[in-house]
Structure 1
Amino acid sequence: MNSKDIRTQFLTFFEGKKHKIVPSAPMVIKDDPTLLFTNAGMNQFKEFFLGINEPKNTRVVDTQKCLRVSGKHNDLEEVGKDTYHHTMFEMLGNWSFGDYFKEEAITWAWELLTEVFKMDKDSLYVSVFEGSQDDDRLEKDAEAYAIWNKIVPANRIIMGNKRDNFWEMGDQGPCGPCSEIHVDLRSDEEKKKVSGASLVNKDHPLVVEIWNLVFMQYNRKADGSLEPLPAKHVDTGMGFERLCMALQGKKSNYDTDVFTPLIREIEIITDAKYGRDEPTDIAIRVIADHIRAVSFSIADGQLPSNTGAGYVIRRILRRAVRYGFTFLGTKEHFMYRLVNVLTQSMGEAFPELSEQKQLIENVIKEEEHSFLKTLDQGLVLLDTIIEKTKGKTVDGRKAFELYDTYGFPIDLTALILSERGFSLDEDGFNVAMQEQKTRSKTASETSKGDWENLQSDAEQEFVGYDRLEADVKIVKYRKLESKKQGLQYQIVFNLTPFYAEGGGQVGDKGYLESPDGDVVYIVDTKRENNEIVHFAKNLPKKLEGTFKAVVDSKQRQRTEANHTATHLLHQALREILGTHVEQKGSAVHSKYLRFDFSHFSKMTKEELEAVESFVNARITGQLPLEEQRNVPIKEALENGAMALFGEKYGDAVRTIRFGKSIELCGGTHVKNTSDIWHFKIKSEGAVAAGIRRIEAITSDAVKDFYAESNKSLTEITEALGNPQDAVKAVKSLQDENSDLRKQIAALLKDKAKNLKGDLQSELQEKNGVRYLIKKLDLDAAGIKDLSFEMGQNQSDLFLLFATEQDGKALLSCYISKELVASKNLNAGTIVRELGKYIQGGGGGQPFFATAGGKNPAGIPDAMEKALEYLG
């Protein structure tokens, strides 16, 4: 049975049990501050488990794209080394929100595995929560045991501990016991020697968990106590890749048709052979796994970057590239060539791969190219570290600096050192790494209290589209402490005019006022588990009663102007550059807007002017806002509304129209485009391959920009003596400056030539080398010309010249090529060593190199040290 059929049979089986098939949520999470990526199938359903919202369907089934590379569920370093861990994986799941519970979940799971998929019953084991001796509140799951015991013999039921058989969303929140189903894929001979029951949860590669049935029945509070949930839920997750391994009779996930097309393509591209030796196999598995994680992330809108989720994706991609570089000998970019095979294999189930294929290839190719350059730079830096190392052990902290600052992989450092007869101070590296982790963890440490509920069963309503003030009541609150923000409180109202951060738009600020005049300032607004949460530095003195919630109208108006401008900008780009333009990200603040979009080249000055004119024409056209709420998504799309890729939309959506611009959008907007006043592009540049970024301003920010520009122009005009034509006067100055620079360059060149004769007479001799070490009053170009002039027809010359300009030092070293060979001298090595005296560094070729530094006072010491190289 191929993987496509397995996925389909799972979904249709539960559809027959009255489950609604729902699509996978994006793997990249945008509106949940607690997660970067979807790491379990339940993430998109958290609001139902928490009781915040009522589900439209109480039974659903899906296959969810997941990524586990950070935090509690961190499998990254295991990926490739074994045959069953992955970064990106599919989680097949069936769900019950307060509907059926343990009996149905267990019996249906067994029915699907043994009757539909025809798995051998004797190869399956199940586990049940045994209770916890450390926590007497956690009793044995006797109910699940009794249900299982009617299906399988007692010797196939394993009692599992809290780590394996009690599932928790986090330190707080819904949790409950779980039953895992494990499969023993060993041969009959191996099964006779050792019982499969003894290998369950022992990390055996062929005795693996394939399905976890979680029974959510408790809520974990901040103090560790448990309380029953008002409704009981079922959350199951079955690893698709492992299921395919079991059903296809394979001994490795990578031997299934989920991965074999990728592995074949890697073999073709790299000339490597899978199954020949372990280092090669690990590298191929790493690459086959990681291309999936990176491709799906980019398809869902997350580009590699230096922070947050983007940093994780960049790290995964670079791990794959360095495995190829180290073990498969790939010195050129190659991973982007795997995207086509991946799309052919998975594009039917996940159409976003096909739709974003060209973008994925472009981004990966550019990232590979960039990292390979980093590896080349790192090799040069590693050479320097080796040269400065006394003994045969390289300082671990130096290696960590290479890893942390330049992104040079530590395992590659260790490999190169080993090849050159050096060893790595691993303890020093680990200490430096742990110190950084501690600093990072301390900086981001956050503790949350339990929600204190003041009202029960209160449904929150957002009224901020229509008004900026509202009479509200506090439904619940909790304390939040972090190193970064200090003490804050999260507050939830029964209704709110505050817009929560989302869709690129920042959250509202404002204040909360009690009847007696007590004021609490709202410093931010975010959405968490589909609730609007307000952040404040303190709480009202009295929590009961009615409060006036007031949004900062100035900030909201400026933000609305920028948000509407992004819609008009999107329309303008598609009109002027072409319909290939798609929004790839945005940031809408009160002071500026940022818009990322797909486009293949730098925009010309004429194109930027055309875009500005297009947007400003719509502003002067005074187009009114045409808003529709709760429109069926199919109807909205048929009416021409643009959906943004990577966003998750419900069955009913909100559309925003200004003239011919119509988009699905939940943000706030001006009532008329004239409220934007004016639109001005500040910059346009590249973000990644095929992705451009425009930063722009509107409204008051444009007024401030023109006022500042006018002030600067006035000052420039006055400095020029108030000419009638300031531009002409500046161009005249530029021409005059250019002429003077040429004259100075010619004079310096003549000076260098005149110096040649004088300096020839100053040459000294040591150990068969004619040398001169001297400080000169020349610029870098003049010194280089002089050095090569003096070196003509010389086979035994060593020159070290120093100069000081604008408070900085420069060292230049010239060595005759014959000396480089005969005396084993290297100008690049010498200036790197001497550079430390002037607090700088440099490099170059063996016969000529330069070093710059910020400490001219170190020049005499550097010159004295230079003489030592002559023996």
Structure 2
Amino acid sequence: MTAPEIRQQFLDFFASKGHHIMPSAPIVVKNDPTLLFTNAGMNQFKDYFLGNRAPAWKRVADTQKCLRVSGKHNDLEEVGIDTYHHTMFEMLGNWSFGDYFKKEAIDWSWELLTEVYKLPKDRLYVTVFEGDAKENLEKDQEAFEFWKKHVPEDRILMGNKKDNFWEMGDTGPCGPCSEIHVDCRPDSERALVDGKTLVNADDPQVIEIWNNVFMQFNRLKDRSLESLPAKHVDTGMGFERLVRVIQGKTSNYDTDVFSGTIGHTEKLTGLKYGCTDSKPDVAFRVIADHIRAISFAIADGQLPSNTGAGYVIRRILRRAVRYYFSFLNWKKPLLQDLVPVLAQQFANVFPELLQQVDFVQKVVFEEENNFLRTLDSGIRRIEDFMGAAKEKSVDGKTAFELYDTYGFPYDLTSLIASENGFSADKEGFDAAMKEQKDRSRAATELDMGDWTVLNENAESVFVGYELSETETSVAKYRKIKAKGKEQYQLVLSQTPFYAESGGQVGDTGILTFGAETIQVTDTKKENNLIVHFVDKLPANITTTAKAVINKNNRLSTTMNHSATHLLHAALRQVLGTHVAQKGSLVNPEYLRFDFSHFAKVSDEELAQIEEIVNEKIRANIPVVIKELPKEEALKLGAMALFGEKYGDVVRVVVMDPGYSVELCGGTHVGSTGELGIFKFTSEGAVAAGVRRIEAVTGRNALAFVNAQLQQLKDIKTALKNPKDIVAVVDNLINDKAALEKRVEALELEKVRQLSAGLQAEVENVHGINFLGKIVDVNNAEALKQLCFTLKTQIDNHVFILAANIGGKANVALMISDNLVAEKGLEAPKIIKEKIAPIIKGGGGGQKSFATAGGQEAGQLDQVITQVKAML
């Protein structure tokens, strides 16, 4: 069977058992502060397990895109080293939300593996939770009894809490689990060593294939366990491992899940993959794995960046680049060529990549290009370090600088060092890495307490589309600590507060408990909960409260959100239908809209787009909002955003059916005329293939226009109110250019005169023509010109020229090429070691010419003395 057939058989099997087949949630997580990425199939169902939301179906099956780059067996630097761990992977799962439990989960997993997939029963082992006395948890005897109907008792193994008690995180849903392991070793090896001794022993051929989690507890902050409102089944089967086992391979990378990208990499590089532990073969595996994580994360809306989830994607991409750069000897972008291959492979299961293939390819290409340039810079940096080093060792601080600034992991630094007869300080590198991680953790640490539940039946209903205030009560609350600041979070039984979502910021406002008023500083979503942030709790939290939003802020935000829809449609009309939203921010002050486009938006195009939006505002088009089944909404032509998770019933916002129809949960005006006026404030690049527009509406737009007019009036006044202000400004620019040319000519003449006088001051120092002088010039460029002018007149030279420019030290050092070659004199090295410390500054340049700047202009005589003494 092919990989697509294996995947489809799983889904068909559980459909036949009454399961609703769900699409994968985006790999990029929104509305969950505990996660950057979907790292398990259960993430999108967390609310069902916690009882925060009633499931639409009691039985569900799916294949979920997951991404893990840390934790057990998933350190990024280990992926590709073995043959069965990945960054991105597919998790096949079947789920029961308060419906069936252990018996059916066990029966069906055995039926699918042995009767449908025809795996040999004598190669399968199962594990059951043995219990944990410390936590007062008993052995899972129930699962043991069910397994006895299918498996001999000697193949039912007891597992400890580490292996057979599944937990979502430090807190949250959890429960005992029962794993199925498969022994893929040849019969000759199986005859020598019993497979059960290798279960959970990290043997590459005796591997876990399926995990049945029986979710029945909730882990609290104090580490205690409470029973969940209902018992659930959460199963996961790694698709890549399943395909490997069914196809009889010894490596996940030998299956048709990866063979397409590996084959294309072979074709590009002219090298062959050999499935060994060699560095080139590891590189093939790294590339085949990483391109999936990179491509699907970008398609789901996460661009590479220097923070958060974006930094994780950038790290993964740079690791792949480093491997092909170092071990496949490939020095130009390669990953971008694999994006179309991947898009076609997954077109029928994850179509979002094929729909955006050009955009994703462009982003990957730019990221690769930028990092390849950084790699070149890093290699020069380590070469310079080794050239100047007194000892044959790269210290930990330098190794970490190479990692932090140039993306060199320790093993690359160590490799380059060893090739040049150097060692590298691993302990020092690890210490610097730990220090950075500790700083980062302290800056981002979020400490959340357990919820105190006051009303278990409250549903946290949002009434803010119709109401700006309502009577309500606190359903639950908890204390949180973020960046050292304590706050509280409240969940209300019903609320008019819009929770931050879809780019629209959360509402602020007040909660009134009797005579006491509490400020709501922000409102966010946590999965399906609407969470209100407050700085303190009321004295009586059980009393009825009045919730009132800040109406002015909501109105301004709503206007900007509606304007964003009008803008999106106008961009597609003027620039093309390739335009897709890649991010947005809608707050009371302005709107920000990021979109896919590969060129600067011209002034003419901006004017055209702005006019279209204002035309729609003047037309005062009614904004029609309706709830429809998702498929019906899409048939209407509604635009869905990539990376957003939509339910089966969606909210459709229509502003002229032939112009703007979008799926959106945000708040909107009643008609477009309420926006008043729309005005762009900026346009620019934000990432490869992504442009950013900022704009204002209503009163803010009027204030912006008035500020521009006032600025123009001030300029006119300064220029004595000319009739044609443009002509006057053009004349000023031309006059300035002419004056600059005259000044430049005078400077050159001054340099010529100085150089003529300086030639007479050259002295012989050990056979070298040395000139050291403090000169009177106005800028650093003049120092450089002096050196290059003297160079043509005097050979075998060392010139050290210095100047006090604006109270700062400026130094230029020139060494003739023959002295660089014969004597090993290097200008940047002398600058760094002899000059920079004296003037308290820094600098650099080429081997024959370098410059420096610093604070100590009074030390320039000492600089000259030092260089002369060195000669």
TM-score, normalized by the shorter chain, greater than 0.5: yes
In the superposition, the TM-score normalised over structure 1's length comes to 0.96
In structure 1, the partner of 2:127 is 127
How far 1:805 sits from its partner (Å)? 2.5
Q: Which amino acid aligns with 2:633?
A: A
- Alpha-carbon separation, structure 1, partners of 2:70 and 2:698: 41
How far 1:725 sits from its partner (Å)? 4.3
In structure 2, the partner of 1:681 is 680
Say whether 1:848 aligns with 2:846.
Answer: no
When structure 1 is superposed on structure 2, of 669-678 and 436-445 the one drifting more is: 669-678
Alignment counterpart, residue 649 of structure 1, candidates 642, 646, 651: 646
In structure 2, the partner of 1:704 is 703
Question: Contact 1:60/1:96 (CA < 8 Å) preserved in 2?
Answer: yes
How far 1:117 sits from its partner (Å)? 0.6
How far 1:861 sits from its partner (Å)? 3.5
- Alpha-carbon separation, structure 1, partners of 2:826 and 2:13: 72
Q: Which amino acid aligns with 1:655?
A: V
- Alpha-carbon separation, structure 2, partners of 1:129 and 1:842: 63
Deviation sequence 1:485-527 (CA, Å, 0-9, x none):
x111111111100001111111111110122x20111111111
Deviation sequence 1:92-139 (CA, Å, 0-9, x none):
011111110000000110011011111011110000000013222x11
When structure 1 is superposed on structure 2, of 853-862 and 395-404 the one drifting more is: 853-862
When structure 1 is superposed on structure 2, of 357-366 and 205-214 the one drifting more is: 357-366
In structure 1, the partner of 2:623 is 625
In structure 1, the partner of 2:255 is 256
Alignment counterpart, residue 539 of structure 2, candidates 538, 541, 548: 541
How far 1:284 sits from its partner (Å)? 1.1
In structure 2, the partner of 1:441 is 441
How far 1:846 sits from its partner (Å)? 2.6
When structure 1 is superposed on structure 2, of 396-405 and 306-315 the one drifting more is: 396-405
When structure 1 is superposed on structure 2, of 290-299 and 630-639 the one drifting more is: 630-639
Q: Which amino acid aligns with 1:841?
A: G
- Alpha-carbon separation, structure 2, partners of 1:256 and 1:24: 22
Q: Which amino acid aligns with 1:648?
A: K
In structure 2, the partner of 1:770 is 769
In structure 2, the partner of 1:237 is 236
How far 1:726 sits from its partner (Å)? 4.1
Deviation sequence 1:349-381 (CA, Å, 0-9, x none):
211121111111111111000001111122232
How far 1:869 sits from its partner (Å)? 4.2
SS of the residue aligned with 1:525?
strand
In structure 2, the partner of 1:325 is 325
Correspondences of 1:405-804 after superposition (within 5 Å): 405-484=405-484, 486-515=485-514, 517-628=515-626, 630-659=627-656, 660-778=659-777, 779-792=779-792, 794-804=794-804
Question: Contact 2:455/2:475 (CA < 8 Å) preserved in 1?
Answer: yes
- Alpha-carbon separation, structure 2, partners of 1:808 and 1:595: 44
Question: Contact 2:81/2:277 (CA < 8 Å) preserved in 1?
Answer: no
- Alpha-carbon separation, structure 2, partners of 1:88 and 1:674: 47
Question: Contact 1:75/1:86 (CA < 8 Å) preserved in 2?
Answer: no
How far 1:624 sits from its partner (Å)? 2.5
SS of the residue aligned with 2:297?
helix
Is the alpha carbon distance of 1:450 and 1:848 closer, same or farther for their aligned partners in structure 2, counting shifts above 3 Å?
closer
- Alpha-carbon separation, structure 2, partners of 1:792 and 1:446: 64
Q: Which amino acid aligns with 1:864?
A: T
Q: Which amino acid aligns with 2:560?
A: N
- Alpha-carbon separation, structure 1, partners of 2:263 and 2:391: 45
How far 1:397 sits from its partner (Å)? 1.5
Is the alpha carbon distance of 1:424 and 1:861 closer, same or farther for their aligned partners in structure 2, counting shifts above 3 Å?
farther
Is the alpha carbon distance of 1:72 and 1:611 closer, same or farther for their aligned partners in structure 2, counting shifts above 3 Å?
farther
How far 1:413 sits from its partner (Å)? 1.7
Question: Contact 1:654/1:664 (CA < 8 Å) preserved in 2?
Answer: yes
- Alpha-carbon separation, structure 1, partners of 2:864 and 2:201: 65
Q: Which amino acid aligns with 1:847?
A: S
- Alpha-carbon separation, structure 2, partners of 1:126 and 1:640: 49
- Alpha-carbon separation, structure 1, partners of 2:49 and 2:463: 25
- Alpha-carbon separation, structure 2, partners of 1:111 and 1:366: 48
- Alpha-carbon separation, structure 2, partners of 1:710 and 1:855: 46
Question: Contact 2:318/2:407 (CA < 8 Å) preserved in 1?
Answer: no
How far 1:667 sits from its partner (Å)? 0.4
Q: Which amino acid aligns with 2:863?
A: A
SS of the residue aligned with 1:682?
strand
In structure 2, the partner of 1:65 is 65
When structure 1 is superposed on structure 2, of 226-235 and 773-782 the one drifting more is: 773-782
How far 1:858 sits from its partner (Å)? 4.4
Deviation sequence 1:226-261 (CA, Å, 0-9, x none):
222221100000001111111111111111111122
When structure 1 is superposed on structure 2, of 197-206 and 74-83 the one drifting more is: 74-83
- Alpha-carbon separation, structure 1, partners of 2:71 and 2:19: 32
Q: Which runs of 5+ in 2 are unaligned?
A: none
- Alpha-carbon separation, structure 1, partners of 2:647 and 2:471: 29
Question: Contact 2:582/2:594 (CA < 8 Å) preserved in 1?
Answer: yes
Question: Contact 1:795/1:819 (CA < 8 Å) preserved in 2?
Answer: no
Is the alpha carbon distance of 1:638 and 1:348 closer, same or farther for their aligned partners in structure 2, counting shifts above 3 Å?
closer
How far 1:225 sits from its partner (Å)? 1.9
- Alpha-carbon separation, structure 2, partners of 1:772 and 1:687: 49
Is the alpha carbon distance of 1:586 and 1:632 closer, same or farther for their aligned partners in structure 2, counting shifts above 3 Å?
same
| RMSD between aligned residues | 1.8
- Alpha-carbon separation, structure 2, partners of 1:836 and 1:736: 43
Question: Contact 1:794/1:816 (CA < 8 Å) preserved in 2?
Answer: no
- Alpha-carbon separation, structure 1, partners of 2:863 and 2:21: 73
Is the alpha carbon distance of 1:387 and 1:589 closer, same or farther for their aligned partners in structure 2, counting shifts above 3 Å?
farther
Is the alpha carbon distance of 1:412 and 1:836 closer, same or farther for their aligned partners in structure 2, counting shifts above 3 Å?
farther
- Alpha-carbon separation, structure 1, partners of 2:855 and 2:711: 32
Say whether 1:399 aligns with 2:396.
Answer: no
Q: Which runs of 5+ in 1 are unaligned?
A: none
Sequence identity percentage:
56
Say whether 1:164 aligns with 2:158.
Answer: no
Deviation sequence 1:15-44 (CA, Å, 0-9, x none):
111111111111111222221111000111
Question: Contact 1:50/1:174 (CA < 8 Å) preserved in 2?
Answer: yes
How far 1:264 sits from its partner (Å)? 1.6
How far 1:722 sits from its partner (Å)? 4.5
How far 1:572 sits from its partner (Å)? 1.0
In structure 1, the partner of 2:866 is 865
- Alpha-carbon separation, structure 2, partners of 1:797 and 1:702: 64
- Alpha-carbon separation, structure 2, partners of 1:793 and 1:273: 57
- Alpha-carbon separation, structure 2, partners of 1:84 and 1:101: 30
In structure 2, the partner of 1:337 is 337
Question: Contact 2:489/2:534 (CA < 8 Å) preserved in 1?
Answer: yes
Question: Contact 1:500/1:525 (CA < 8 Å) preserved in 2?
Answer: yes
Deviation sequence 1:817-848 (CA, Å, 0-9, x none):
23322222223433344334434433333332
Q: Which amino acid aligns with 1:657?
A: V
SS of the residue aligned with 1:804?
strand
In structure 2, the partner of 1:299 is 299
In structure 2, the partner of 1:115 is 115
Q: Which amino acid aligns with 1:603?
A: V
How far 1:74 sits from its partner (Å)? 4.0
- Alpha-carbon separation, structure 2, partners of 1:533 and 1:71: 29
SS of the residue aligned with 1:134?
helix
- Alpha-carbon separation, structure 2, partners of 1:724 and 1:6: 78
Question: Contact 1:75/1:85 (CA < 8 Å) preserved in 2?
Answer: no
Q: Which amino acid aligns with 1:194?
A: V
Question: Contact 1:213/1:237 (CA < 8 Å) preserved in 2?
Answer: yes
When structure 1 is superposed on structure 2, of 809-818 and 168-177 the one drifting more is: 809-818
- Alpha-carbon separation, structure 2, partners of 1:717 and 1:406: 49
- Alpha-carbon separation, structure 2, partners of 1:347 and 1:478: 44
- Alpha-carbon separation, structure 1, partners of 2:691 and 2:838: 43
SS of the residue aligned with 2:134?
coil
Deviation sequence 1:554-610 (CA, Å, 0-9, x none):
211121121111111111111111122111211112222211111121111111111
Aligned residues: 866
How far 1:655 sits from its partner (Å)? 1.2
